[in-house]
């Protein structure tokens, strides 16, 4: 494990602003007060343990969700310093928990934080936003403890026992008057802890959920292979071109760790991290990596006659087809840019990463000619497909330039041209499409019926997508192009709503459409324009009573209970179970599924690209067994198909 020496000297702790500011504007400090913000509280604390691990003093972290959503995090590091802090005249530990921006990272100069959460604000913010926090420190032969409520010190740090061990344990309950929920999501946290363990080679992270004594969940992560294990994990359901991931590690001024492995898939999955933060928008490290790949593979192809003199160079996208890679670097003073502040801006990093990958990858290819050959064969065929795709795209472009107003024949467009208020329903089946056309509000609702067998884009290259008769109407209707050409500012509808039956076939159509949007119109999902309609599953009716629609089995039980309370017996009701959208007449479809005042739409969000890629590989790939396991485990997900 890499050692990062940095002393949190007392002088480095600055007193800046009070915790009241945090309680007044929690979103500014923790991102949001939704379940996402709640999880960030945990990451802030765990990040401190990871910093201690990166400093070379902590080897194990124990995280437990105790009954009542009490979160407990313990590390076996040096323990937070307990001595009196010369500036604040209280213990350093209490200072870290009560003074915003204490903890060293805003201290400038030599103090820097390697790991970091979304806002990197640390322990004091967690304290400010908790009902209570208990901190126990083992250090200097003693056990010390302090206790806070809503950020205020209730019990100052005091010695409560003797110990020859060292470490820090923090327990807290999030403030229920600030957060929308106190309920931690085990799987979301588990995914993040697994990722943290991949990123910190050799660090052991144990995680346990004790909330339900009858169903205690446990996981433990420790990866001696670091990023190599990460890439193996990401590719576990994919077919790989070579057995072992290519692994590069260098601990210079900017420590760089990279693992990469080529698969037979057509998509490109490169995940980048700076100081353990997922740099979703990429940046200079990604740029350096990509440049090196293009150069090294072209050089190799030329010198080994895999590209002839007359052949054009391979382009970046050709040599990245099918790649799964993780790039993780550590930067002392990272500059984050971009919309979500997850794009690395430090210009010196490009050259550092590029020259490192140049050296290591060319050596690897020379030493492993069979691997080089299979990657380059794939790249050459990707280049050919790119050329075919370009021709197909030109054809589509030329056609649409000639027929500028030609929208798909089946599209029943809306009259408004204001994209913000317009929505398009992509409807499975002609009969449902017919009902939707009649039932809609034609001022702002457009209907595009889909028919026949939809192309599985997971198994097709781009050249097969352009001009595909099932997908083309969707591309033209959305109006913003696809792939590299996709331009979110050109979308014709603010809401693209997939409306399919609530059965297995409907789920399949939804998955196919979502896979297409994810692979070829990803900004549409990232921008929050993709929705799933929720048609009802049941209709309850009785003479003299207004019809009641239920959207889930739980909703049906609730409706029965409410009606029984009002004296309406279950056996006096007529229950209709909808098998498909086609069973509803236009008025019913409007009332239940399309009327903006009454309908429920599920917005498709993409919190985690890694998870989404895994899902689509599984749902649309060749492997039957993992797909069956996934569907069994995520029956609810498959019903909603949210990613």
- Active-site residue set: 428, 501, 503, 505
% helix, strand, coil for the chain, step of 5: 40, 20, 40
Residue 406 near residue 400, CB atoms below 8 Å: yes
Non-local CB neighbours of 398 within 8 Å, separated by 6+ positions: none
Least distance (Å) between residue 439 CB and ligand 0R9 = 56
Smallest distance, Å, CB 333 to ligand 0R9? 18
Instruction: Sort residue 168 into left (φ over 0), alpha (ψ -120 to 50) or beta.
Output: beta
Using CB under 6 A as the binding rule, whether residue 294 contacts ligand 0R9 is answered as no
Burial (CB < 10 A; 0-12, 13-18, 19+), residue 452, is: exposed
Please, which residues bridge with residue 86 across strands?
none
Planar angle of CA 577, 579, 585, nearest 5 degrees: 85
Q: Where are the beta strands (DSSP E) in 254-345?
A: 256-262, 269-274, 277-278, 323-329, 336-337, 343-344
> In the complex, what is the shortest distance from the CB of residue 213 to ligand 0R9, in angstroms, rounded to a whole number?
24
Candidate ranges 71-79, 481-489, 534-542, 553-561; the one touching ligand 0R9 (CB under 6 A): 71-79
Residues pairing with 568 in the sheet: none
Q: How far is the CB of 279 from ligand 0R9 (least distance, A)?
A: 24
- The answer to the question of residue 94 lying near ligand 0R9 (CB under 6 A) is no
| 70 part of the interface to ligand 0R9, by CB under 6 A | no
Kindly identify the residues of this chain, within the stretch 118-137, that bind ligand 0R9 according to CB under 6 A: 123
For ligand 0R9, the closer of residues 169 and 386 by Cβ is 169
Shortest separation between residue 8's beta carbon and ligand 0R9, angstroms: 3
CB-based contacts of 624: which residues, under 8 Å, 6+ apart? none
d(CA 572, CA 542): 7
Candidate residues 92, 324, 529, 593; the one interacting with ligand 0R9 per rule CB under 6 A: 92
**Nearer residue to ligand 0R9 within complex by CB, 90 or 573:** 90
Q: Considering the complex, what minimum distance in angstroms separates the CB of residue 18 from ligand 0R9?
A: 18
Tell me the number of residues near ligand 0R9 by CB under 6 A: 21
224-229, long-range: CB < 8 A, 24+ apart: 225/201, 226/198, 226/199, 226/200, 226/201, 226/202, 226/257, 226/259, 227/198, 227/199, 227/201, 227/257, 227/258, 227/259, 227/326, 227/328, 228/259, 229/198
* Alpha carbons 20 and 125: distance in angstroms, whole number: 10
Beta carbon nearer to ligand 0R9, 204 or 464: 204
Tell me: does residue 80 bind ligand 0R9 (CB under 6 A).
yes
Toward ligand 0R9, which CB reaches closer, 71 or 507?
71
Of residues 44 and 614, the one with the C-beta less far from ligand 0R9:
44
Residues 168-197 within binding reach of ligand 0R9 (CB under 6 A): 168-170
Residues in contact with ligand 0R9, shown as a per-residue x/- string from 478 to 507 under the rule CB under 6 A = ------------------------------
Rounded Cα distance between 7 and 626, Å, is 47
Q: Given the rule CB under 6 A, which of 74-82, 331-339, 412-420, 503-511 is the region that contacts ligand 0R9?
A: 74-82
75, 209, 501, 613: which one contacts ligand 0R9 (CB under 6 A)?
75
Using CB positions, name the residue nearest to ligand 0R9: 8
> Given the structure tokens 């945990």, which residue do they identify?
42
Segment near ligand 0R9 (CB under 6 A), from 17-25, 72-80, 175-183, 310-318?
72-80
533 touches ligand 0R9 (CB under 6 A): no
Residues 6+ apart with CB under 8 A from 511: 616, 619, 620, 641
Helix (H, G, I), strand (E, B) or coil at 434: helix
Judged by beta carbon, residue 104 or residue 535, the one nearer ligand 0R9 is 104
Sole binder of ligand 0R9 in the list 26, 37, 103, 473 (CB under 6 A): 103
Residue with smaller CB distance to ligand 0R9, 77 or 535: 77
Distance CA 319, CA 183 (A): 44
| 474 part of the interface to ligand 0R9, by CB under 6 A | no
Instruction: Report whether 258 contacts 247 (CB < 8 A).
Output: yes
For the chain, state the CA radius of gyration. 28
> Contact letters (x/-) for ligand 0R9, 27-66, by CB under 6 A?
------------------x--xx--x--------------
Residue 166 beta carbon to ligand 0R9: minimum distance, rounded to whole angstroms? 8
For residue 509, give the 3-state DSSP assignment. Answer: helix
Is the C-alpha dihedral spanning 416, 421, 426, 429 positive or negative? negative
* 79 vs 536, beta carbon nearer ligand 0R9: 79
Least gap, CB of 257 to ligand 0R9 (angstroms): 23
Tell the smallest beta-carbon distance from residue 147 to ligand 0R9 (Å).
15
Asked if residue 343 lies in contact with residue 281, where contact means CB atoms within 8 angstroms, the answer is yes
Q: Does 78 bind ligand 0R9 (CB under 6 A)?
A: yes
Is residue 403 classed exposed, middle or buried when 0-12, 13-18 and 19+ CB atoms within 10 A define those classes?
exposed
> By C-beta, is 109 or 367 nearer to ligand 0R9?
109
Query: Looking at 96, 307, 352, 436, which residue binds ligand 0R9 (CB under 6 A)?
Result: 96
Q: Is 449 in the site for ligand 0R9 (CB under 6 A)?
A: no
Helix (H) or strand (E) run with residue 95 in it: helix 92-98
Contact 220, 70 (CB under 8 A): no
Of 79 and 334, CB closest to ligand 0R9: 79
Site of interaction with ligand 0R9 (CB under 6 A): 8, 45, 48-49, 52, 73-75, 77-81, 92, 96, 103-104, 123, 168-170
């Amino acid at each position: 494990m890499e050692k990062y020496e940095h002393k949190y000297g007392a002088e480095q702790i600055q007193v800046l602003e009070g915790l009241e500011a945090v309680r007044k504007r929690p979103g500014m400090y923790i991102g949001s007060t939704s379940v996402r913000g709640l999880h960030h509280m945990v990451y802030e604390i765990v990040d401190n343990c990871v910093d201690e691990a990166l400093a070379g003093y902590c080897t194990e972290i124990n995280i437990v969700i105790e009954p009542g959503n009490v979160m407990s995090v313990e590390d076996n590091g040096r323990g937070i310093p307990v001595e009196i802090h010369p500036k604040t005249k209280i213990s350093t530990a209490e200072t870290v928990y009560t003074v915003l921006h204490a903890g060293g990272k805003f201290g400038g100069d030599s103090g820097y934080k390697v790991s970091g959460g979304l806002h990197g604000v640390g322990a004091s913010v967690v304290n400010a936003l908790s009902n209570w926090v208990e901190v126990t420190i083992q250090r200097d032969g003693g056990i010390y403890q302090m206790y806070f409520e809503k950020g205020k010190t209730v019990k100052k740090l005091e010695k409560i026992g003797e110990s020859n061990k060292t470490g820090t344990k923090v327990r807290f309950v999030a403030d229920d008057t600030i957060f929308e929920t106190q309920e931690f999501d085990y799987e979301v946290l588990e995914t993040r802890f697994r990722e943290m363990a991949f990123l910190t080679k050799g660090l052991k992270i144990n995680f346990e959920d004790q909330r339900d004594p009858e169903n205690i969940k446990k996981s433990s992560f420790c990866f001696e292979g670091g990023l190599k294990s990460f890439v193996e994990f990401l590719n576990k359901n994919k077919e790989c071109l070579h057995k072992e991931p290519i692994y590069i590690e260098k601990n210079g001024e900017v420590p760089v760790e990279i693992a990469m492995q080529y698969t037979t898939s057509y998509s490109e999955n490169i995940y980048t991290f700076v100081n353990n933060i997922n740099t979703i928008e990429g940046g200079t490290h990604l740029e350096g990596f990509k440049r090196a790949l293009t150069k090294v593979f072209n050089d190799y192809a030329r010198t080994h006659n895999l590209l002839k003199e007359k052949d054009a160079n391979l382009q970046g996208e050709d040599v990245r087809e099918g790649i799964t890679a993780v790039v993780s670097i550590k930067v002392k003073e990272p500059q984050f840019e971009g919309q979500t502040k997850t794009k690395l801006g430090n210009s010196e990093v490009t050259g550092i990463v590029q020259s490192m990958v140049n050296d290591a990858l060319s050596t690897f290819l020379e030493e492993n000619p069979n691997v080089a050959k299979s990657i380059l064969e794939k790249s050459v065929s990707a280049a050919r497909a790119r050329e075919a795709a370009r021709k197909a795209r030109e054809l589509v472009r030329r056609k649409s330039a000639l027929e500028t107003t030609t929208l798909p024949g089946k599209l029943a467009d809306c009259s408004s041209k204001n994209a913000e208020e317009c929505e398009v329903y992509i409807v499975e089946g002609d009969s449902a499409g017919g009902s939707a056309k009649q039932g809609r509000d034609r001022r702002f609702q457009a209907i595009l019926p889909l028919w026949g067998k939809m192309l599985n884009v997971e198994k097709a290259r781009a050249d097969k997508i352009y001009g595909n008769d099932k997908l083309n109407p969707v591309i033209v209707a959305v109006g913003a192009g696809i792939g590299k050409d996709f331009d979110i500012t050109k979308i014709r509808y603010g809401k693209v709503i997939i409306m399919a039956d609530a059965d297995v076939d409907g789920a399949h159509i939804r998955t196919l459409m979502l896979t297409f949007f994810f692979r070829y119109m990803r900004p549409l999902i990232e921008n929050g324009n993709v929705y799933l309609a929720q048609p009802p599953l049941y209709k309850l009716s009785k003479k003299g009573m207004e019809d009641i629609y239920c959207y889930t089995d739980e909703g049906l039980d609730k409706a029965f209970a409410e009606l029984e309370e009002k004296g309406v017996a279950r056996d006096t009701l007529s229950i209709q179970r909808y098998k498909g959208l086609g069973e509803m007449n236009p008025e019913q479809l409007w009332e239940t599924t399309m009327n903006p005042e009454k309908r429920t739409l599920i917005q498709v969000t993409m919190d985690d690209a890694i998870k989404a890629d895994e899902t689509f590989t599984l749902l649309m790939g060749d492997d039957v067994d993992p797909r069956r396991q996934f569907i069994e485990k995520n029956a609810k997900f498959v019903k909603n198909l949210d990613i």
